Chains A and B, each alone.
Chain A
Amino acid sequence: MNETITADAAAARPRADGAEQGATSRQASAIEMQGLHKRFGRDTVALDGVDLTIEAGEFFTLLGPSGCGKTTLLRILAGLEDADDGRLAIGGRDITEVPPHRRSVNTVFQSYALFPHLSVRENLAFGLKMRGMAAAGRHAKVDEIADFIKLGDLVDRRVDQLSGGQRQRIALARALVCEPDVLLLDEPLSALDAGLRSQLQVELLRVQKRLGMTFVFVTHDQQEAMVMSDRIAVLNGGVIQQVGPPRAVYEHPVNAFVARFMGHDNLYSVTGRQGSRLATALGELIIAEAGEGELLLIRPETLDLLPGEVAGNNHLPAVVAERLYRGSHAEYRLEVGDTTLQATLNNRGRHLPEVGDRVTVTVAPHDLVTLSE
């Protein structure tokens, strides 16, 4: 399953082969994790056997609710936490036992962690200085990265004069200037307001594409994960639930947890099946690929509403219980017998049924997916 999706991703993704030979470009490195375990104290299991391969030059996202282990996994990659068991290799080199200051890995921290006793320029040069680069070389490198990230005159300010968004960019530049094999980002945008956040999402994505560097990104926001990532790993309870490109994870979640986490509510138990016919609380539905799963997922945007009662396959009679008009689209809560169903309709100038209207819900067989609990 993992392999097929990896292959898909490699085919689908515009490869960074032609990555600019810019300031900070460097051979990207793949990451291999095998059987990583981590416990805190006696009882808290943070990671329960993680096997994962992250391709070179990938924008890879670890997605999950708080406490799912995603941050622990990132910290193990950084070397800030030691795994209790398992192996970790970057670029083919085993670094399980290598301390953080000897790993060619840098982190953008959630709190940015800029050194308050240093100027912005000194913050940017810190990693280079610790690696023993001479002052002249550091200065040139810092100017180069400041140009690349478009920091402008921020370089000559004091840290306490910076806004949140500026700090975020300085933190990114501070990590990138070291030209690491892998860049780790720990919810770097979560402290910013919505507008700035989406602006920086785009900026971050562009930087990654231009550098062709391997990025590992941690977030709990599935929208953000889908916008940014080449591939996503969804974690829960220290176990990877699913790995794949955003479309695969969103449209073909492997289990109820992933489906719910990706925002799906229309999940129905399959009470009986006969070939491609499934019996559910909604009624009988025909599915293109029957699968083994005991749950049926119906994505709201795949539904269509016809006025009045129309008979046919995959035609369900329903009553509009609620309508949320959102301009570009409208969200419906429908009552089909005793069960409810969410539907989203694009606003393409057509008739939008009102609350109380009797309608018929239709869905194409190839839009239906079954999955296991």
Chain B
Amino acid sequence: MAYNGVMPSARSRAMVREARHLLFTVAPGAIWIVIFLVLPGAYLMGVAFMTNGPYGLPEMPLSLASFERLAGFGFLGWSPGNLYTLLRSLWQTAVSTGLVVLVAYPIAYYITTCREKWRPIMLLLVVVPSWTNQVIRTFGWMNLLAPGTPLSGLAEGLGLIAPNMGLYPSNFAVTLGLVYNFLPFMVLPLYAAFEKLDTAQVEAAQDLFASPVRAFWHAVFPQTLPGLLAGIVLVAIPAFGMYVIPELLGGGKGMMLGNLVATQFSGGANWPLGAAGAILMLIATFIGLFAMRRIGKRLGGGEEVVI
């Protein structure tokens, strides 16, 4: 009674039809991304291992010269410039991400304590500024922080800056710009975490632990951790590769890795050096993503951090 025939033709025809369907729907987009992103990316990686030609364009032979230059070894011996840029990028990323968390955490919590009908409007109010172009937002800060403005005057009065210097360009302005730019990216996932918060757990914790601080630490914080990690990924990765904000608010002393890379492709014109910088940025990005996934899996319980 058991059926032991060879794979029948109706079945193999259906398989061919399904495979053709997959190809038809997925291939255009997949090919598009491969041609216009994967190939360019691969080419850029290749460029990093080539020699810098007379017009800044890559040439044969292959070499590691651009990585040496990235590490600071130039015609005039070693100089710490590029290293400072890298360290500054890390520092700015860490500080601005930290500040964003400090601002976004209470804001996200506050929104969940408000009446339900106001919450979408409050979220919209937080998000809307990020709908305007980054260049315009940064330009607004240039207006606010320029020498002679009330804010600069205040800082001068307090003796924080030298007279007539203004608050920009400076590293401080870059940090401010980054915090401003990425705040909504942290509020949204944190809000989602707070909204799902199990209040029964919080009440139980208030019962069990005397101090509110301990109740927070044991009942609230762990539940918001997945949202927090998602927010950190959303903030830190683009912050590390930021180009516009340091370019406009930072001046020469506020340069970050993104500016170093970009310069090699426009004014400075040393493609292999820029490509080497881009590889560094990519490595940092993937390490960041990987680390967050690992931590998220270990701490987040069943919930995985999704980017």
Q: Which residues of B contact A144 (CB under 8 A)?
A: none
Cβ contacts A27-68/B at 8 Å (1 or 0 each): 000000000010100000100110000000000000000000
Least CB distance from B231 to A in Å reads 34
Interface SS of B by simple majority? loop
Docked-complex contact A84 and B8, CB < 8 angstroms: yes
Docked-complex contact A239 and B8, CB < 8 angstroms: no
Interface set, chain A 67-106, CB cutoff 8 A to B:
82-85
Least CB distance from A240 to B in Å reads 11
Cβ contacts B1-28/A at 8 Å (1 or 0 each): 1110100101100100000000000000
With known contacts A84-B8, A85-B8, A48–B14 Cβ distance under 8 A: no
Q: How many residues of A contact B (CB 8 A)?
A: 10
Nearest CB in chain A to that of B12: its residue: A84
Docked-complex contact B1 and A49, CB < 8 angstroms: yes
Q: Which of the listed residues B1, B3, B5, B11 has the most CB atoms from chain A within 10 Å of its own CB? A: B3
Q: How many residues of B contact A (CB 8 A)?
A: 8
Nearest CB in chain A to that of B7: its residue: A84
Q: Which residues of A contact B2 (CB under 8 A)?
A: 45, 48
Docked-complex contact B3 and A83, CB < 8 angstroms: no
Docked-complex contact A84 and B1, CB < 8 angstroms: no
Q: Which residues of B contact A239 (CB under 8 A)?
A: 1
- Number of A-B residue pairs, CB cutoff 8 Å, is 24
Q: Which residues of A contact B11 (CB under 8 A)?
A: 82, 84
Docked-complex contact B10 and A48, CB < 8 angstroms: no
Query: CA separation between A49 and B1, bound complex, in Å?
Result: 8
Docked-complex contact A39 and B3, CB < 8 angstroms: yes
Query: CA separation between A49 and B3, bound complex, in Å?
Result: 8
Cβ contacts A301-326/B at 8 Å (1 or 0 each): 00000000000000000000000000
Nearest CB in chain B to that of A96: its residue: B10
Query: CA separation between A45 and B2, bound complex, in Å?
Result: 9
Query: CA separation between A51 and B2, bound complex, in Å?
Result: 15
Query: CA separation between A84 and B1, bound complex, in Å?
Result: 16
Q: Which residues of B contact A83 (CB under 8 A)?
A: 10
Q: Which residues of B contact A48 (CB under 8 A)?
A: 1-3
With known contacts A84-B8, A84-B10, A37–B3 Cβ distance under 8 A: yes
Q: Which residues of A contact B5 (CB under 8 A)?
A: 37, 84-85
Q: Which residues of A contact B10 (CB under 8 A)?
A: 82-85
Residues on B facing A (Cβ under 8 Å): 1-3, 5, 8, 10-11, 14
Residues on A facing B (Cβ under 8 Å): 37, 39, 45, 48-49, 82-85, 239
6 contacts between A and B (CB under 8 A): A37-B5, A48-B1, A49-B3, A82-B14, A84-B10, A85-B10
* 6 tightest A-B CB contacts, nearest first: A84-B8, A37-B3, A82-B10, A85-B8, A84-B11, A48-B3
